[in-house]
Every structure is written in C-alpha cells, then in structure tokens.
Structure 1
Amino acid sequence: MTEFNSTVGALNVTVGKEIRNSALRIGILILILIFFKVSISYGETTIESEYEKVIAHGGGAYHGYETTNSVEALNHAIQSGYRIIELDMELSSDEKIIMLHDWDRTAKHYYNTSFDRKISQHRFNRLSVHGELEVLTFEKLSKILEVNPEILIITDTKGDNLAILSKIAKEYPNQVKQIIPQIYGFVQWIKVKELGYSNIILTLYAMRDIDEDKLVSFVMKKDLYAVAMPDYLAEQGLCSRLSQEGIKVYVHPVSTYEDAQYFISQGAWGVYSGTLLPEEFAGFEKDFYLTIDDEDGTAVKLTDNEVESLNELKLSGIKDGDEVLFFVDESSQNIDDPKLSDLDSGKHQLTVTVFRDGKLLGSLNYLLLKDSDKLRVLHKKYRYRFDLVKKEKDFSEVMLDNGVPLEIIKILEKSFIAKKGEYIFYSEGKLGHYMNGDDYLPVQAGSFGKQLLPLSTTAQFLGADSVIMDKSKDISIIYNNEKCMVMVDSYLFRKGSGRIIRMRTPVVLYLNKAMAGGEFYSYLTGRNFIEKEDLIILLPEKLELGGRGIEETIIKAAANLF
C-alpha cells in the first residue's frame, strides 16, 4: 500500500454563488473520502453503467504494456470493470488454443524470440511476455471465465478462425455463451452460427474493396451483434453510414478519450481500447472530468500532466451555480495555491467533489505528486506510474552525506551511472530518466545477467550527435563525427570505416526500444566500464583504474544513489 502524506486543504471554486451549509457538506465529504464510494444521481434517475462502450483490446493495458494477451492483463481488465475483452488466439503445434497475436510479425516484440514454426502449448507456457508476464492459454482462460460468468470474450485470430471456434465449441461447451466470435467475411457466418455462437461480430480489417450496400444488407439480414472496423475506415465515413442504418459499430484501436468521443459522435457505439476505462464512459466520470489545455489551448482530458497551479485544472461538465471542491488526502479543509505550497513533497490523493443546488453530485479521485517546484496530477488508471516514482537523490548531497572521498567523487561526477530495474540514471552528476513515451523504462537484464540500457538515450547523454533506427532495425550513431553501425539482434559493431567488432552481448529490442550493454557503449565512446552488483558505470574518458580497491570504492559510492 502506498502511504500518502497528510495535509490540510482543498481548493474551493465557486461558480455563480457562494457555498452554503458548508459544515454539513464537509461532514458528507469526510464520509466520501473515507469510503471512496459515491451514490450518483440526477434528480430521481440513477446513472446506469454502460461497460460495453469500451472493449479491452488485446486483454487491455497492464502497467504500460499494451495488447499482451497475458494472464495479468486479463485479470486487471476484469478488476478494472471491463465486461467485454478482446483476445488474440492461435493454435499451437499440438492443436491447443493459446493467446498469441501472430507467429511472426510481433513475436519478437512480445516474447523476445522468433518462431520459424509453431510450437507446442508446453513450450509456449515456458515463455513470458516482455520477460515478466504470464502467457495465457484457453485452458487458463476457461478457469477465469468460470468464476467470472459476466465476462464476455471477443476472439481475434490471424490463423484458422473456424478451427479455433470449432475447438472451443467442442472442448469448452460451457464457455460458448461467453464467447463473441469475430468473422472476417460473409461466408463464415453460417458456419459459426451452426457451432452454437449466438452473438457474432463482423470485423472489417481483413476485407478488401468493401461494397457498402452489400455490407449493410448482410448485417441487417443476419442480425449480427456488431461490426468492428479500423479507425481509418471510420474516418472515411463508413462508421456513420452503418450507424445510420441502426447497426452497432465498434472502432479500433483507440487510445485517447478525445478520439473515442470523435468516433462516437460519428455514430460508433463504442471502441476497442487498451487504455480507456469503462467508467470513463459511464457514471459520474462520463459527465465530469478534469481537463488541461494542450499546446494549442484546446481543453483535453487530464491523463498524466504537470501543472504549476491547481488553477490550471478545469472541470468539464459544470454549470453556472455548481460548486467544485478540491481536497488533498484525508483533509476536510479548503485549500488554495498559497496553502498548497506548504504541502509536503511526495505522494498524495486528490479528490474533486461537485455540488449542484446544494446536493452532492459525486466525486473523482486523482493522484498527486508534488516536488519542490511542480505538481503532477495523474488519472487513477496510471497508479502503476505513481507507485513507481521514488524519491530522487541529489548527486552532491549523496556523496557528501556518505563521506565519499573527493577522488571518487571526481570520477563519478564525470561518469554515467545506471542500475538494473531503475529508470533513473546519473550522467556527469545530473539525474535523468529513461522513458518510453509517457512510461518509465527501467534498465533490463540481458543474457548472462548483463545490464541493457536504452540505446538512444544513453548514447545521446554520452555525447552522440544522433541515433537513428530505420525500419529494418539498422541503427546508425554519429559520435565524434564518425558513423557507427549496429543491427538489432546482432553481435557485430562497426565503427567508422574500421574493422567490425564482435560483441558478447547483442543489441536487442524491448518494447520497440533498442537496448545495449556496457560493451557496446565502451566500443562507441572508448570509455572503460564497471559492471557489478546490478550497477553499470561508464567511466570518464581515458581513465584507467589503479586496482580492485578503487573499483570497489566506486561501486559502493555509486550504490548510494539508488
């Protein structure tokens, strides 16, 4: 459990009139903050949840990993309130159903391996997704569905669709009612229907030269559950055309709230998404949510944003006369920005509560990170990022507090220092972060335990002028006006026009990011390095250590940074 710092305060924003009956309302708010549950109603009408508005794509996102089709992703999707979850399915070499996107194009990305042929379910079970998530098979899925009878699974396959659906119907008859098959053409409908599936989706991503009139006629006659289409077809007007005929349409893949609302405005019933939660389309958050202005001044839904003041946050959905209260942690007192400056640095809970005509409408819970000069506000779906954040240490303070000899400090402040499992690093005494988009990207362990650092970020901090990876996964680095070349999954490194060097640890891809070991950076820069006790230290240029004693002292001093 994350411990939150305690503080007083909440920001009171009054729209149109002053707050009345404050004592009574604060009493109500304390109960809300204790139980984090809200009874939401407009007048006498209770809001119903519409979980079918968003389908968890590829099992849904899990801790920044998308479309993993993993056990963890599936369980997380269920816990997050998804009622319908899409999974990718294939047949193993021994004719078992496994959750796999494809055997060739994405295998390296998910499993860090390649398949020249299908493998058995037994071998598949020995793999892991991104090195840490458990692979999912239909045997495992069946057990999960048994204890979650309300959950529906949409199938997707790049293989033999009818063979997979036939196998489910034959071997898992009790789960058929929880399966919504996707078909990829008109001719599959009758065969899938005969297998006993009542709800069927026609997906269009594999269809070519779509005849819209024929499509509409087919869907209307066959009474399909829905039609799913890629975003580019929806943008061409097909979503609008089908919805005008009363056909339920889902659009995929969709990652932002604004894109989802756009497609819904074009007639889509819902979207396939790994990052949007069901509650964002139902209940209180459907109508009320925090926004922040983007670079163009357009209000967009807050996801994970830095602000200088809470005044930068606006609440979408409020009307004249509404009262909006911001509370921090378990406090029941109002706060303004001057008081917020007294808030302890660290992790906090931010609760936004709305009153209308003196009645409580509901509240929203966000996560708040504060350091000395900025605030970071996160939607609660990014709690995994919030939990990863750790107190960052100042290089000079660490060195002085631990009595590190001046000779060692001078070496380390000119070094590059990283550690396995950590997303922070130090370059010439300054702290940096490894990132993959908006997510942290920790240092990984490669073969034989060698540390693998994100290549582009590390090379640039070491002084590279440019790092470019092309579509063929060839990487070119300009360092000291010299072009160096390496390929993903290759042990070979070429520096300038010189000879080719064979490395012991290859450059690999992790989450589509090139990762390289200390040996690579040593060849690139000519700097020696130390790799010990999960640390990797690229020493200053031309430095030769005098013996093991000084190396151990350097390692001990550097370890205090993490």
Structure 2
Amino acid sequence: MYNMITWLFGASFRERIAIAMSYTLAIVTIALGLQLKLASKSPNPAKWNTYSQQANSHLYDGLNPAKPIAMPVISHRGGDVPGIDEAGTLARLDYNYARGQRLFELDFSWTADDQIVVKHDWKERSEIPTLEEFLSESPTDHTSLSMVYDWLVAHPDAFVVTDCKKRSLAAAARIRMERPELVAQFILQIYQYKDFELVQSQGYQNVILTLYRCLVSESANRIADFAAEHDLFAITVPRSRSSDPELPRRLNQLGVPIYVHTVNDNETALDLQRRGFYGVYSDSLTTETVGRIAQRKPAEYPDKTVFQ
C-alpha cells in the first residue's frame, strides 16, 4: 500500500516503472498458480471432445499392441492368496499371474487430494484420507494407481478391469492423460449405455458393460440390442441375473461373452457355463481350473477363447 501511495504522489518515473513491474509480476504469479491448480484435476468428462483421439493422435502411437483375450475367469480384486486373508493388491496380482491369470478386476476410489488408489470404498471411515495418508497406513498392502501402472509395465500381457464406482469417467480420463501408452491394458467397466462412446473416444477399445449398478433390471432384449450395435468386450451380470436364460441366449448368438460375478466354486461355474454363460469373476478360481472342468472348445468363441 505504501508503494502505491508513493507511486501516486511524487515517485520518480524510474520508481513508477519498478513498482508497476513488481505488481505485474505478482498478478502473473497468482494467475499461473491458479492455472496449475486447475490443471492438476481430471478434465470434465462432458468436455472430452477437447481430448479426442484424433486431436491427440500422437499419444496413441506407442500404445501396447497386446490384445486381451476373454478368459473364462476374471480374478476379482486381483484374486485371493491362500492363507493370507488381507493380502495386498500387488501380492494378489503376482500370485494369480503366476497361476496363469491375465485378467484382473480391481476396485478404484478417489482420495481426499484427488488421487486414485485401489480401494473398494471408504464406507468404514469417517474421513477420506489423502494419498500419502492411505499409503503410509500399510506401505506393503495399500496400492496407488501409479503402482498399478508400474505392475502393468512389468507384465505387458496382463489387463486390469476397472471398477470405479464414483467419477469413473474422470478416472478413465486421468489414466489416459497420465499413461496413454497403458490405455490398451485397461478394460473399462461402464455402468450406463451413454458412457460407451465417451470411453471409446479416449482410446479404450475394450469395454465391459456391467449391469449391477444401473441396469440390473434392464430387459434382455434391450441389453442384447445395445450389444449388437456396439463393440463390447463383454457384458457382466450379478448373480441375481444368472437365472435369466434369455440374456445368455441372445448374447451367444452375437458372440459377446457374458460373465457372472462373483462365483467361487467350480460346480456353480460349470452350471453357469452349461446354461450359456461364458465365464465368471472369481476370488479363487482360475481359467485353468474352470477350463479343466468345462472343456469348452475354441470354436464356440473363435476370436475370444483360450480353451484347448
């Protein structure tokens, strides 16, 4: 304030220039700080046209060429580790990868400081932690999205099926902006029909429509019609929809795999396969164990099965 008064009442020309420059620098610094703060947040999915694949085609030149195969078992939460009830995510991934699994479903949640971690939800907590707080609670068990990135780099034939119950489209945008070369290793689960075009426009070519949140009562015909018009990797239904014979019948005609979650015993998995369901999400089963029982032939899904 003193400088401003001096400037107005009798400062020399050189002093006025110096004071004006100092105020200009302060304003520019504040503006840049605000811009960086805004840039640190995920883009609004409603404005994803700004981040279209065409406009950012250079980001997709190095995408992982590996293509996921629809295996009969997707490891739920990365799969169990026998004898360790609360095994960390990376331990789960390592153990079940060694058992031959290549598709891993993981739950993602947002921290208080707008970061993404592997976590089903925060219902048991009174406050949502920051990323640093969450990781410090259990450095060997708690897992951040960046740690999942590193694991995927080391396992280029593995794929993560996402289950992000809040701000799922923003999470997809975050992944694409942070690590566009890993987009091909993420299979996005969407919960509504309208999300399909948004995620595909960002380079996510493998999309699962899961019914458990918004479409659990949707008719088999409506779901099958959507599958016929859109290139889905698969459709996933909760156990409550597994008694519906029409949906697997229609999807089998289209060649679209249909999964049921969550199934942890071979007898149920075999029964579901006999009734036309392609596979299951499971904590304990693997493609090898289910395949040994079912002996499904590749001709049934020539482009998507791994059974021999």
TM-score normalised by L of structure 2: 0.68
Residue 93 of structure 2: aligned partner: 74
Matches of 1:254 and 1:69, distance apart in 2: 21
* Distance verdict in 2 for CA 1:286–1:261, change over 3 Å: closer
Deviations 1:393-414 (A, max 9, x none): xxxxxxxxxxxxxxxxxxxxxx
| 1:233 matched residue in structure 2 | 241
Letter paired with 1:73: R
- Does 1:124 pair with 2:116? no
What is the SS of the residue equivalent to 1:272?
Answer: strand
Which of 147, 150, 153 is equivalent to 1:146? Answer: 153
Matching residue of 1:313: none
CA offset at residue 208 of structure 1? 4.3
Match of 1:187 in 2: 194
Which residue number corresponds to residue 224 of structure 2? 216
Aligned length: 225
Cα distance in 2 between the residues matched to 1:134 and 1:217: 42
1:270 alignment partner AA: G
2:256 aligned residue: 247
Q: Tell me the CA shift for residue 215 of structure 1.
A: 1.3
Change (3 A) 1:119 1:279: same
Find out whether 1:274 has 2:283 as its counterpart.
yes
**Separation in structure 1 between the aligned mates of residue 85 and residue 285 of structure 2, nearest angstrom:** 12
Instruction: Render the CA deviation track for 1:56-90: whole Å, top value 9, x for unaligned.
Output: 00110112456866221111121111011000011
Deviation, 1:286, is 4.3
Q: Give the Cα–Cα distance (whole angstroms) in 2 for the partners of residues 197 and 95 of structure 1.
A: 22
Q: Deviations over 1:180-226 (max 9, x none)?
A: 00000101111111111001000000124303222111111011110
Q: CA, structure 1 residues 287+187, in 2 after alignment: closer, same or farther (shift >3 Å)?
A: closer
Alignment match, 2:76: 57
Counterpart secondary structure, 2:119: coil
Greater Rg by CA: 1
Mapped to 1, the partners of 2:86 and 2:196 lie a distance apart of 26
Equivalent residue for 2:104, pick from 85, 88, 105: 85
Q: Give the residue type in structure 1 aligned to 2:108.
A: M
Q: Measure, in 2, the Cα distance between the counterparts of 1:51 and 1:200.
A: 12
Contact 1:70–1:133 (CA under 8 A) maintained in structure 2: no
CA contact (8 A) 2:216 2:237 kept: no
Query: Take 2:118 and 2:233, find their aligned partners in 1: how far apart are those partners?
Result: 23
Deviation at 1:98, TM superposition (A): 0.3
Distance 1:61 1:133, change over 3 A: farther
What is the DSSP-based 3-state SS (H/G/I as helix, E as strand, rest coil) of the residue aligned with 2:242?
Answer: helix
Q: Is structure 2 residue 174 aligned with structure 1 residue 167?
A: yes
Partner of 1:202: 209
Partners of 1:135 and 1:189 in 2: CA distance: 30
**CA shift digits 1:373-393 (9 cap, x unpaired):** xxxxxxxxxxxxxxxxxxxxx
Structure with greater helix share of residues: 2
Q: Percent identity?
A: 30
Root mean square deviation of aligned Cα: 2.2
Structure-1 separation of matches of 2:264 and 2:294: 19
1:95 is displaced (CA, Å) by: 1.7
Inter-CA distance 211–260: structure 2 relative to 1 (3 Å threshold): same
Quote how far apart the aligned CAs of 1:242 are: 2.8
Tell whether the 8 Å contact from 1:51 to 1:279 is kept in structure 2 after alignment.
no
Q: Please give the per-residue CA displacement for 1:253-309, whole angstroms capped at 9, x wherever unaligned.
A: 010001001111111111111111221134xx4479xxxxxxxxxxxxxxxxxxxxx
- Structure whose residues are more often strand by fraction: 1
Counterpart contact for 1:60–1:66, Cα < 8 Å: no
Residues 482-535 of structure 1: CA distance to partner in whole angstroms, max 9, x if unpaired?
xxxxxxxxxxxxxxxxxxxxxxxxxxxxxxxxxxxxxxxxxxxxxxxxxxxxxx
> Once the 2 structures are TM-superposed, how far is the Cα of residue 116 of structure 1 from its aligned partner?
2.1
Listed as ranges, the gaps of 5+ residues in structure 1 are 1-49, 105-113, 289-562
SS at match of 1:87: strand
In the alignment, structure 2 segments of 5+ residues that lack a partner are 1-68, 296-308
Distance 1:214 1:67 in 2: 39
Greater RCO, CA 8 A, separation 6+: 2
Deviation at 1:159, TM superposition (A): 1.1
5 Å-filtered alignment, 1:337-352, equals: none
C-alpha contact 1:162 1:192 (8 A) present in aligned 2: yes
Which residue in 2 is equivalent to 1:261? 270
Letter in 1 for 2:118: M
Q: How far, CA to CA, are the matches of 1:241 and 1:234 in structure 2?
A: 14
Letter in 2 for 1:231: R
Q: Distance in 2 between matches of 1:271 and 1:98?
A: 24
CA contact (8 A) 2:161 2:188 kept: yes
In 1, Cα distance between the equivalents of 2:195 and 2:81?
33
Query: Quick one: distance in 2 between partners of 1:62 and 1:201?
Result: 26
Change (3 A) 1:66 1:212: farther
Secondary structure of 1:126's aligned partner:
helix
The whole-number CA distance in structure 2 between the counterparts of 1:64 and 1:269 is: 29
